[in-house]
Amino acid sequence: MRIGFIGAGRMGAPTVERLIAAGHGVTVLTRRPEALAAAQSKGWVTADTIGETVQDADVVISMVLNDEQVQDAMLGADGALAAMKTGAALVAHTTCDPDTVVLLADSGAARGVHVVDAAVSGGPRDIEEGQLTLWVGGDAAVLDTVRPALAAYASPVLHVGSVGDGQRVKLVNNALFVAQVGLAVDAVRLADAVGISESDILSAVQHGSGDSRALNSVAWIGVEHIGSRLAELMSKDVAVVRQIAERSGTDLGLLGEVLSSDLVEDQILCAGGIPDRALAGSSARTPDSMKRPAATERR
């Protein structure tokens, strides 16, 4: 399968590696000089423009950073959709507003180009192992045509509905994850108040009904640093969830209350960790048995 790949960064580079290893012909476009140098050092086929990247591709895969980059790369006279051949398919991996991928799908349809949004859950390690989770929104028949490419780096690949629904699932997932992290941090604070150390409570709860991927992330990263790790990854997603809820007139209920709490709002989404007053005297160390791959990579 001929693939045009846009955005060979932290997530994109291992994805390209897997695609090439699976026998696909890949042409790569990346803007950052260091990423371009790395691609060329590996002997990858690179392009200078979006048009050169996508014009002969059966499938175009986009793994750029945000809404703005998606629209810049995909829309307009110089965008990928204008240069893609009729019948080709665009796979959009970037976490963004669902309305953005709906806009891409509408623009693509006018040109005979198919679009699926394939929101990701996972990190570079999952890609390297072929175990990236994909929540795919779009036509099931189009998904079937791109599965051979997705199978090179993703499993499971879950069809969750129409275009935009992949993003909606991802955003709900991330909002729930952030709320669970906030609750886990508060649970550690409670344990500290009654004389149980951070490392002891996190090790113990791992074997109880309170265990979760969020709690394991707190254990792996430590309460002191979880805020600085999550803020960059999750604050944008939670903001989009709030915007979507407002547009649809949906009450976020208890989830919204947790996300709007001082702990989550100020110290996880917007700050560089949990201040001393939240965990006075608590240890930030994590036992070796808890040091496993960070679930925050599964975004």
Residue 137: Cβ within 10 Å count: 27
Percent of the chain with pLDDT over 70: 90
Active-site residue, selected from the candidate residues 42, 85, 170, 236 = 170
Mean pLDDT across 167-175: 94
Comparing 71-75, 91-95, 164-168, 285-289, the range with the smallest average pLDDT is 285-289
Average pLDDT rounded to a whole number, residues 41-65 = 97
Residue pLDDT, tens place only, 276-296: 333 333 333 333 333 333 444
**CATH fold of the domain at 2-162:** Rossmann fold (3.40.50)
Average pLDDT over residues 6-12: 94
Residue with tokens 């349809």: 109
- Does 170 participate in catalysis according to the annotation? yes
Please provide the average confidence, as pLDDT, over all residues in the chain.
89
CATH number corresponding to 168-297: 1.10.1040.10
Tell me how far apart the alpha carbons of residues 251 and 82 are, in angstroms, rounded to a whole number: 39
Reported as half-sphere exposure (CB side, CA atoms, 13 A), residue 204 has a value of 9
Residues 194-208: pLDDT tens digits?
A: 999 999 999 999 999
Domain boundaries, the chain: 2-162, 168-297
pTM above 0.75, yes or no: yes
- Asked if the domains at 2-162 and 168-297 fall in one CATH topology, the answer is no
Q: Give one DSSP letter per residue of 237-264, joined into a string.
A: HHHHHHHHHHHHT---HHHHHHHTSHII
Beta bridge partners of 162: none
Among 120, 14, 108, 106, CA closest to 59: 108
